Amino acid sequence: MNKNRLMKISILLLTVLLFSPYLYAQNYDESKVGEYTLPDVLVTESGKKITTKKEWEQTRRPEVLTLFEEHVYGQFPKKYDRLEYSVKNEDRNAMNGKAHLKEVELVITNNNKPVRINIVMFIPNNLKKPAPAFLLINNRSKRNTAASRDTLSEFWPAEMVIDAGYALAAFHVSDAAPDNKNTYQNGVLELYPEQINANNGMRAIGAWAWGASRVLDYFEKDKDIDAKKVAVVGHSRGGKASLWAAAQDQRFAICASNCSGNTGASLSRRNFGESVERINTSFPHWFTTNYKQYNSNENALPVDQHMLIALVAPRPVYVTNASKDLWADPTGTFLAAKEAESVYELYKLESKLPQRPPAIDTPIVSPPIGYHNREGIHDLTKYDWARFLEFANNHYKKNVP
Ligand code: GTR
């Protein structure tokens, strides 16, 4: 290659590098959001209007679920050969006698390939019957959910949850799929290798949600847990997975999705904060290959995220934001929750959400749709958990602690 050509190519590459942050610059200006039209959650692909819960359950719900599988999160294989579990560590007197600690290893096998999911769980000792539970899909440090309780993290305030009369469990996303674009296949996807090259194949977020479902399979065998009262909780990328888990697995009684933002609880078509192109570029291993065709092309999506929230209906769903987390688009999250109301209405469940986004720290903790925009940064805190507890109490009609 001659010198001149090399020089030209270098200049071009340098320019692209220099300007790439601008190519992905995100909008934070409400006046620049522009117009958009959401797909109607209650109109089928063939244009039929859905007016009853029967039509929703028989026609539109399966259709919407398939659209999300096909275009966004990928297939969700339900069959596997075996699930075995063993209690690796146990302390009946944990938390000064308040709780029963169990560390359980699940081994799920399919086609002779195993995946291991480790669960840490605390169960209140003073309950006479199986405990309702919260399950966190932990996307952050394992220290947050340490059985030793030597780090008391707000991300998983186990003592507070135990005091409120619920069991608390967690598993780490890396057991199901490492959160890495080069290694995410080393986990659940080894059980389903056909997914890897499929354009609608499962990716990391799908694998994390799948992991949550397997923990629920285990809960059904654990007499300490009331498997009919399990809330699945996730923060941010974990909150995208908690919504997808609750959409796919209707055994989850409640879903909490904290600061889940783009391709979680906030609307993709709203041009504010993180975009589909940005998320697909930063995290190519989270969603399907098909999803990449919606980069800068959100209007072509046959779904938007209000429809994911609606898939949780009639079960209660709680979505949140933090005031300084504009990346996750608080307004877009609130609007998505509002748009899901029409499906709850088919079940005669009246949403208590206000017409406009509520003020900061003004939570709506009445089912079926909970929402708050907490003062502060992108995080999962005691404030968030305390609201999830109130919401669950309201749903199960327990006294608020
Ligand atoms: C960000 C990502 C968000 C959210 C977040 C997190 O970098 O853009 O969509 O998932 O990470 O998981 O904390």
For a ligand 1 pocket test, name from 235, 283, 326, 380 the mutation site with the most ligand atoms within 8 angstroms of its C-beta.
Answer: 283
Is 20 annotated as catalytic? Answer: no
Assess if residue 328 is contained within a domain: yes
Please identify which of the residues 174, 236, 257, 260 carries the catalytic annotation. 236
How are the residues of the chain apportioned to helix, strand and coil, as percentages rounded to the nearest 5? 40, 20, 40
Q: Ligand 1: does its nearest atom lie under 6 Å from the Cβ of 262?
A: yes
Assess if residue 163 is contained within a domain: yes
Measured distance CA(51)–CA(314) in Å, rounded: 15
- How many domains are there within the chain? 1
Beta strands in 260-399 (DSSP E): 317-322, 369-374
Assess if residue 5 is contained within a domain: no
Which residues are within 8 A (CB) of 172 and not within 5 positions of it... i.e. 6 or more apart? Answer: 118, 138, 142, 145
Measured distance CA(33)–CA(280) in Å, rounded: 20
Assess if residue 31 is contained within a domain: no
Counting DSSP H helices and E strands in the chain, the numbers are 11, 9
Q: Ligand 1: does its nearest atom lie under 6 Å from the Cβ of 185?
A: no
Q: Ligand 1: does its nearest atom lie under 6 Å from the Cβ of 271?
A: no
- What stretch of H or E contains 208? helix 204-219
pTM of the predicted structure, to 2 decimals: 0.94
Q: Which domain CATH number covers 237?
A: 3.40.50.1820
**What does each of the 401 residues of the chain score in pLDDT, given as a tens digit?**
677 777 777 777 765 565 555 555 899 999 999 999 999 999 999 999 999 999 999 999 999 999 999 999 999 999 999 999 999 999 999 999 999 999 999 999 999 999 999 999 999 999 999 999 999 999 999 999 999 998 899 999 999 999 999 999 999 999 999 999 999 999 999 999 999 999 999 999 999 999 999 999 999 999 999 999 999 999 999 999 999 999 999 999 999 999 999 999 999 999 999 999 999 999 999 999 999 999 999 999 999 999 999 999 999 999 999 999 999 999 999 999 999 999 999 999 999 999 999 999 999 999 999 999 999 999 999 999 999 999 999 999 876 54
Contact between 129 and 223 under an 8 Å Cβ cutoff? The reply is no
Assess if residue 38 is contained within a domain: no
Assess if residue 23 is contained within a domain: no
Contact between 362 and 308 under an 8 Å Cβ cutoff? The reply is no
Assess if residue 363 is contained within a domain: yes
Contact between 150 and 141 under an 8 Å Cβ cutoff? The reply is no
* Cα 305 to ligand 1 centroid, rounded to whole Å: 16
Q: Which domain holds residue 245?
A: 45-396
Name the pairing type of β-strands 113-124 and 99-110. Answer: antiparallel
Beta bridge partners of 114: 109
Assess if residue 181 is contained within a domain: yes
